[in-house]
Amino acid sequence: MRIVIAEDGVLLREGLAHLLADEGHEVVASVGDALGLVEVVEREQPDVCIVDVRMPPTFTDEGLRAAIEIRSRWPDTPVLVLSQYVEERYAVELLSSQTSGVGYLLKQRVADVRDFLDALERVAEGGTALDPEVVAQLLARARRPPHDELTPREREVLALMAEGLSNAGIAQRLVVTEGAVEKHVTSIFTKLGLDFAETDHRRVLAVLRYLEDRDP
């Protein structure tokens, strides 16, 4: 894959570049600010971007804004956002801008090299990857008036869907059959009113629908 990295921390930026190169990927550019990121993406048209949420000059949400701009201008360019801490509103805002080819991981997840690379590849292929800690906090804070009808097991399945796991992956994690997972997923879609949504995006839409009534 051809990859662009946007990270102001030199050590992490260079570490990511070496890790990806060792895996056979091509890092076509690495930048330390959001403005440089947008310019590079326009020039290089990479297969995927890895973007830090907080970047110069204010170190608030410049990276996130750049990621959303990239998804707006080049919808087919996948973006994996990295954050030092769980920033719930950033995760929801990123997912709300598109329902495929996006990811949100905590930086500590990079240390789990295999999991990080799996998430990157999933995003690059048009899937979704959310950090388990982000998912846990989002679902814990969500108000569930119309969604209380989801069973505890369905909420478990929904959380794993948000992480980007396939039905087979969910079955393995929960130690159940794939058929059982399919039944839970179908039930979730029905209860959240997603019976007729586009199949490829229903998993992300289910998570977003579940979070619509979350506390501010």
Predicted local distance difference test score (pLDDT) of residue 142: 55
Residue 172 lies in a domain: yes
Q: CATH number, domain at 169? A: 1.10.10.10
Residue 65 lies in a domain: yes
Residue listed under structure tokens 């959240």:
192
Give residue 163's domain range: 142-211
Amino acid at 136: A
Mean pLDDT along residues 97-101: 70
Average pLDDT over residues 6-16: 93
Please check whether residues 101 and 150 belong to one and the same domain. Answer: no
Stated pTM of the model = 0.71
Total number of domains constituting the chain: 2
Of 73, 100, 131, the domain-final residue: 131
CA dist., res. 154 & res. 139, Å (int): 12
pLDDT band at 17 (very low <50, low <70, confident <90, very high): very high
Residue with tokens 């949100």: 104
Nearest to 94 by CA among 50, 64, 59, 49: 64
DSSP E strand stretches across 107-212? 128-130
